[in-house]
Amino acid sequence: MTSTSHDPVQLLRDRFISAMRAALGPDCPPDPDPLIGPARNPKFGDYQSNAAMPLGKALGRPPREIAQQIVDHLDLAGIALPPDDSTIAGPGFINIRLAPDAYAGLLDALDTPDLGVEKPAAPETIVVDLCGVNLAKQMHVGHLRATVIGDALARIFERLGHRVIRQNHVGDWGLPIAMVTAHVADLARRGTIDLDKLTLDDLDTAYRAAQRDCSPDRRGLEAVRRYDLGPKAEAELEEQVAGAEEALERAKQTLIRLQSHDGATVAMWQRIADVTMSACHAICRRLHANVPPESAAGESTYRDELAGVVDDLVNRGLAVESDGALVIDLKDAGIAEPLLIRKSDGGFLYATTDLAGIRRRVQKLGADRCVYAVDARQGLHFKQAFAGAIKAGYARKPDGSDARLEHAAFGTVLGEDNKPFKTRSGENVKLSDLLDEAVVRAGEQIKEKNPDLPADEQRKVAEAVGISAIKYADLSSDRVRDYVFSFDRMLMFEGDTGPYLLYALVRIRSIFRNAAEQFGVTESDIDARRPGFALDAPEERALALALLQYPGVLESTAEALEPHRLCTYLRTLAEEFSRFFQQCPVLKAPDEATRGARLRLCRLTGKVLGDGLTTLGLIPVERM
């Protein structure tokens, strides 16, 4: 974690580390961790250190005794109140209460354009794999997660000052794509499809038809023969099987033509790619997910690298033959299943492309860290691909160390029946339909709550609220866990929802509208004058502590790749603000100084909340 000088946790950490070293001498671990976190019970302090318990265990001494020794050496001047009788509690917790003027100073230091986030000394290059749509298929809820989570992580890295490269690893190559390409070419030849008016819906239909056409029903034919179901049935199935084999053969030929860059075939494929990607980019724009066309780096972009990768692995003895196929053995990396990189028919695999992808990302794009926002069901695939890439040296950076390769795995979106989210007829739910419905429902609520809003503002707000609701529901649940998709829940204006957070910010905006009306004070006045913070009420201090955690939360969210940490933080911040606002009159404050101090607290909360929301990729509004 980079040190942020006004983050009390960081400051206390430094003081505690010195105290631990001084107190324990040679018994002190080389890299002592004071284990500082917010106090469990605010009655006893603002923060607590849990260091004494594990130390006691390690050293075989009573933890309270160790706690006392640490406290005896602790210098809290300028940050916290001096230790007293209640400092050590329970089995050996060390409670810390910040000094009143320390809060004000720390908050003032946080109130910079960067909100206390310091530029990293050595910014990293982080490649984020996100979205990952497939050609000729509609985006569904799985792609929602890959897009929204990937984009949120990318935004958080960017916010922290790292260099981010987004990569949309589009599934745009291989036999299934050749099947649909051949099929669409066929439809076009027969005049049943208009290539100039091709839509993603057409392609989705064609994709399925191609799949069906290329699947010979050999089992059916066998059954017909075994149960002697008559010549007519047998003939029908024979015809199906022959037709399917022919279609499959045509698809294989198409793949060969694609691989050898045959003009007409590539043009057909390109048309399919263009239609798919323009629909994909439109949805990403609507989602306020930053997945620009330049981020597209589909499987097809690796097509001419795969043979080289495989040769390289064979030449260096890393890939070996097994039943006619080529595999990399990963037992030395603790993975029982070998990584298949070439099938016995000579075809390359999804994993071969990901090996080439890691090589490109680390060695061409300069990645220090590669993060993959992809479905948890691909866990084994990534474990294997990462281990294989490391074994092959493809993750090696110029300094000789390996880039960090991480799978930000996410769980499945479930329907209210706790089964994977599908339409009633069992189809995948189209992402665009889902967004439409969220926006319509948000619109109904906005209209009811705010009938005076002009119609076009109402529409804009509904769009922002509906999309933010879907995104927040996705981001706020523990990433690896499945979650149940519920419009009713995600659109509530109270509770752990996107609308609640947007509303918290709207409330702050409206405080300032009133402040301007009543006192002629605007947000920029507060920024210019920077009235001093007064932190007398417990609710003011609680809000201040929450604000001070912001830079640290961004850091830990980025480290753990868990956007829900930032969500939880923002929700807590909004709640602390709400408590403060109930208990501490702002515009009706007893005097001008208190009013100024509280407006400053409102202003800073608004900045942090607004920054946090946009860093997650939600869409703040002025009114709702």
Among 111, 129, 555, 611, binds ligand ARG (CB under 6 A): 129
Q: How far apart are CB 372 and ligand ARG at their closest, in Å?
A: 6
Nearer to ligand ARG, 102 or 374 (CB): 374
- The pair of three-digit structure tokens given for residue 442, joined into one six-digit string: 């948000």
Q: With respect to ligand ARG, which residue has the nearer C-beta, 138 or 254? A: 138
DSSP-based three-state secondary structure for 334: coil
CB of residue 132 to ligand ARG, shortest distance in Å: 3
Q: Which of 32, 216, 357, 612 touches ligand ARG (CB under 6 A)?
A: 357
Q: 354 or 523, CB closer to ligand ARG?
A: 354
Cβ count near 270 (within 10 Å): 12
| Residue in 483, 508, 449, 487 with CA at minimum distance from that of residue 567 | 483
Give the distance, in angstroms, between the CA of residue 269 and the centroid of all CA atoms in the same chain.
31
What is the smallest separation between the CB atom of 134 and ligand ARG, expressed in angstroms? 5
DSSP states of 490-512: HT-SSSSSHHHHHHHHHHHHHHH
CA distances from residue 192 to 183, 244, 251 in whole angstroms, order as listed: 11, 20, 19
Between CA 612 and CA 501 the distance in angstroms is 10
Of residues 376 and 587, the one with the C-beta less far from ligand ARG: 376
In this complex, which beta carbon is closest to ligand ARG, that of residue 178 or of residue 439? Answer: 178
Smallest distance from ligand ARG to CB 146, Å? 7
Copy the structure tokens of residue 568: 């939880």
* Of 132, 338, 531, 596, the one binding ligand ARG by CB under 6 A: 132
Q: How many CB atoms lie within 10 A of CB 241?
A: 16
Scan residues 162-221 and list those touching ligand ARG (CB under 6 A). 169, 171
Site size toward ligand ARG (CB under 6 A) is 9
**Is residue 354 part of the contact set for ligand ARG (CB under 6 A)?**
yes
289 lies in the site for ligand ARG, by CB under 6 A: no
Site mask, ligand ARG, residues 296-335, x = CB under 6 A?
----------------------------------------
The piece of 54-62, 82-90, 126-134, 584-592 that touches ligand ARG (CB under 6 A) is 126-134
Q: Which amino acid is at 366?
A: G
Provide the minimum distance between the beta carbon of 299 and ligand ARG in the complex, in angstroms, as a whole number: 8
Least distance from C-beta 212 to ligand ARG, angstroms?
20
- The answer to whether 368 and 400 have CB atoms below 8 angstroms apart is no
Q: Which is nearer to ligand ARG, 284 or 464 (CB)?
A: 284
Stretch that binds ligand ARG, among 70-78, 129-137, 421-429, 430-438 (CB under 6 A): 129-137
Q: Which is nearer to ligand ARG, 138 or 445 (CB)?
A: 138
CB of 353 to ligand ARG, least distance (A): 7
Kindly report the backbone phi and psi dihedral angles of residue 348, in degrees, each rounded to the nearest multiple of 5, phi listed first. Answer: -90, 170
Distance of CA 416 to the CA centre of its chain: 23
Q: Are 178 and 247 in contact (CB under 8 A)?
A: no
CB of 366 to ligand ARG, least distance (A): 18
Q: How many CB atoms lie within 10 A of CB 217?
A: 15
**Which window, 117-125, 128-136, 214-222, 419-427, contacts ligand ARG (CB under 6 A)?**
128-136
CB of 623 to ligand ARG, least distance (A): 39
Strands 47-49, 93-96: pairing is: antiparallel
Nearer to ligand ARG, 56 or 132 (CB): 132
**Quick check: 562 binds ligand ARG (CB under 6 A)?**
no
Compute the radius of gyration of the chain from its Cα atoms. 30
Neighbours of 220 (CB within 10 A): 15
- Least distance from C-beta 129 to ligand ARG, angstroms? 5
> How many CB atoms sit inside 10 A of residue 59's CB?
15
Residue 372's closest CA among 422, 281, 297? 297
Does position 8 bind ligand ARG by CB under 6 A?
Answer: no
User: By beta-carbon distance, which residue lies closest to ligand ARG?
Assistant: 132
What is d(CA 573, CA 256) in angstroms, rounded to the nearest whole number? 57
- Contact stretch for ligand ARG (CB under 6 A) within 127-135, 192-200, 521-529, 536-544: 127-135
Contact assessment for residue 362 and residue 174, using Cβ atoms and an 8 Å cutoff: no
For residues 548-570, one letter each, b for 16 or more C-beta atoms within 10 angstroms of the residue's C-beta and e for the rest, the string is bbbbbbbbebbeebbbbbbbbbb
For residue 374, state whether it binds ligand ARG (rule: CB under 6 A). Answer: yes
Q: Which is nearer to ligand ARG, 202 or 354 (CB)?
A: 354
Identify the H or E element spanning 328: strand 325-328
Q: Which letter does DSSP use for residue 361 in this model? A: I
Instruction: Kindly tell me which of 32 and 132 has the beta carbon lying closer to ligand ARG.
Output: 132
Of 358 and 619, CB closest to ligand ARG: 358
Other beta carbons within 10 angstroms of residue 22's beta carbon come to 15
Q: Which of 95, 134, 240, 295 binds ligand ARG (CB under 6 A)?
A: 134
Minimum CB separation from ligand ARG for residue 408, in Å?
Answer: 11
283 neighbors 249 (Cβ within 8 angstroms): no
Point out which residues bind ligand ARG (CB under 6 A): 129, 132, 134, 169, 171, 354, 357, 372, 374
